[in-house]
Structure 1
Amino acid sequence: MKRLVLAVMAFGMMLAGAVHSAEELHNPGGIGGLESLRGASELEATRAADPMKRYPRDQGTIDSDYVYQPPLVPHTIRNYEVSKNANKCLACHSWKNANEMGATKISVTHYQSPREGQVLSDVSPARYFCLQCHVPQADAKPLVENDFQRVDALR
């Protein structure tokens, strides 16, 4: 009896797969009537790459838009390595190099252990990967319309 039930189930699955494959031949991939920020293009279709974003040079410090916002990076970070083995940001922004490089020093909070608040002699491992919080500000139009307003106290 078990063999008969298993055989019927296997035949049903095989039949469903054949029907599904026939549908794919008529409409491979498909978008199901949905449209994303990429438009109504098929997932398998190759389209031209978007133009590279432009990062204004030497735009100085960028004002914050909300309280506790991590400072934005006012320069390009193309080819910057930030990995467990190296951190290009620290070449300019560490307390040791900042004055000589004319860069902003990283905050003292980056030298504190997150749990105990203990002051460390080097950047805390929890704060080592700068690009988790700090991002460059590209000169690009928003992907979606918005009416965001800066916090009044920061104007």
Structure 2
Amino acid sequence: MPVDARAIFIPGGSEIDPLRRGVPVDKEGHPPPMARVENTDISRVRNYPMQPPTIPHTIDGYQVDLNSNRCMLCHARANAATFQAPPVSVTHYMDRDDQFLATISPRRYFCNQCHVVQTDAPTLVANGFKDIDTVMALPAPPGGH
């Protein structure tokens, strides 16, 4: 049964349309096209200290589950030179008590908790982020310290 658009009251409804993109509520919308994954194998500059690096290649079909972690084939410290891949940080081999482990720490095992691929998606929200070096280089406001 179709929804009667007149039965839905949204104050100022013409101004509130972040998800429907102009499609009336009684019509089926079409999703925007999926953004393509950048597959450049070029590391991006990080925006702030301790930012996890982004993944500069596609990971479609990579198995990362309880039984296997495809990322470690190339990025494990023992294999990184062979595959010319950056090795994971030594912190990924430490447990919560800062003791070094022979293999990747279980708390760092699922890479996509922190690392993401980059896409060619358009910027949806303007970003005014400034790293600490940029902020520190700005002149002090008048009367400020």
Q: Could you say which TM-score interval applies, normalised by the shorter chain? A: 0.7 to 0.9
Matched with 2:141 is: none
Point out where structure 1 has 5 or more consecutive residues left out of the alignment. 1-23
Matched with 1:47 is: 29
Is residue 2:132 matched to residue 1:136? Answer: no
Q: Which moved more, 1:37-46 or 1:135-144?
A: 37-46
**Contact preservation (8 Å) 1:53, 1:140:** yes
Deviation at 1:42, TM superposition (A): 5.2
Report the RMSD for the aligned CA atoms in angstroms: 2.6
Q: Please give the TM-score of this superposition, normalised by the length of structure 2.
A: 0.74
**Contact preservation (8 Å) 1:72, 1:135:** yes
Letter of the aligned partner of 1:127 in structure 2? R
Q: Which has the higher helix share?
A: 1
**Contact preservation (8 Å) 2:62, 2:70:** yes
Letter of the aligned partner of 1:118 in structure 2? Q
Larger Rg: 1
Q: Please give the TM-score of this superposition, normalised by the length of structure 1.
A: 0.70
Letter of the aligned partner of 2:126 in structure 1? E
The structure 2 residue matched to 1:146, chosen from 127, 133, 142, is 127
**Contact preservation (8 Å) 1:54, 1:139:** yes
Point out where structure 2 has 5 or more consecutive residues left out of the alignment. 135-145
Matched with 1:66 is: 48
How many pairs align? Answer: 129
